[in-house]
């Protein structure tokens, strides 16, 4: 299984990659840290599944310039739109640490987000996992989704 993981938060990223490799035996994982990194990876590679954070920085920027980076609260939707436009054959699983996602114009909880994704991206959207570092539930959910791919 070839996985694209789009995630900007280092601890969450590390925990999920470690779980995928050590517990589930997934070896082929490409990790990017931003909306544009995810878009580029999708254009240049073929993946079986995208593990997608919903809120993402626009660009891969590290260090002192990080504060200059723009942040997209619903950046994951832009990646889903790209998959739709390109008619890519890939499954998508959203993994987010937020109970509620909001920007200047919209605020939705995870249940609403999941319903919206199922309605708009039903051909490839699998579901939404709430990531909580202190819980094991995300691991069980992730394993169950990946079993069906």
pLDDT of residue 63: 56
Whole-prediction pTM: 0.92
Compute the C-alpha angle 128/106/83, nearest 5°.
50
Section 20-34 average pLDDT:
97
Section 98-114 average pLDDT:
90
* Residue 147 burial (C-beta neighbours within 10 Å; 0-12, 13-18, 19+): exposed
- Please write the tens of the pLDDT for every residue from 72-86: 889 999 999 999 999
Q: Domains in the chain, start-ordered, CATH in brackets?
A: 2-38+46-147 (3.40.50.2300)
Would you mind telling me the total number of residues written for the chain in this entry?
A: 149
DSSP assignment of the chain equals: -EEEEE---HHHHHHHHHIIIIIT---EEEEE-SHHHHHHHHHH---SEEEE-SSEESS---GGGGGGS-EETTHHHHHHHHHHHHT---EEEEEES-SEEE-SS-EEEHHHHHHHHHHH-TTTEEEEEE--TT-SHHHHHHHHHHHT-
* Residue 51 burial (C-beta neighbours within 10 Å; 0-12, 13-18, 19+): buried
Average pLDDT of the chain to the nearest whole number: 93
Residue 99 has pLDDT above 70, yes or no: yes
């Amino acid at each position: 299984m070839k996985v694209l993981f789009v995630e900007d938060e280092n601890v969450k990223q590390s925990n999920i990659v470690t779980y995928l490799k050590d517990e589930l035996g997934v070896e082929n994982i490409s990790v990017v840290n931003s909306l544009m990194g995810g878009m580029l990876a999708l254009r240049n590679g073929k993946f079986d599944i995208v593990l997608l954070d919903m809120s993402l920085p626009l660009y891969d920027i590290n260090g002192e310039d990080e504060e200059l980076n723009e942040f997209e609260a619903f950046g994951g939707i832009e990646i889903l739109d790209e998959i739709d436009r390109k008619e890519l054959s890939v499954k998508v699983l959203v993994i987010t640490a937020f109970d509620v996602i909001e920007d200047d114009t919209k605020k939705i909880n995870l249940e609403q987000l999941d319903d919206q994704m199922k309605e708009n991206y039903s051909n490839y959207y699998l579901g939404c996992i709430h990531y909580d570092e202190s819980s094991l539930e995300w691991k069980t959910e992730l394993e169950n989704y990946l079993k069906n791919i």
